[in-house]
Amino acid sequence: MAQVVIKPAQFGQGLFAVEPIVAGTVIGVATGPIINFSTALQKNDRECDALQVEPDSYLDWPDPLRLANHSCQPNCGLRNLEFVTLRDLMPGEEILWDYSTSMDEDSWTMTCLCGSPNCRGTIKDFRLLPPTLQQHYLSLGIVLPFIAEQYG
Q: pLDDT digits over 4-20, tens only? A: 999 999 888 999 999 99
Domain ranges of the chain: 4-148
Average pLDDT over residues 96-117: 92
Burial of residue 79 (CB within 10 Å: 0-12, 13-18, 19+) is middle
Average confidence score pLDDT of the chain: 91
What kind and span of H or E run contains 147? helix 145-148
Greater pLDDT, 108 or 147: 147
Average pLDDT over residues 140-149: 96
Distance of CA 59 to the CA centre of its chain: 12
Topology of domain 4-148, CATH: Beta-clip-like (2.170.270)
Q: Residue 121, by phi and psi: left (phi above 0), alpha (psi -120 to 50) or beta?
A: left
Average pLDDT over residues 100-129: 92
Alpha-carbon span 150 to 36, nearest angstrom: 21
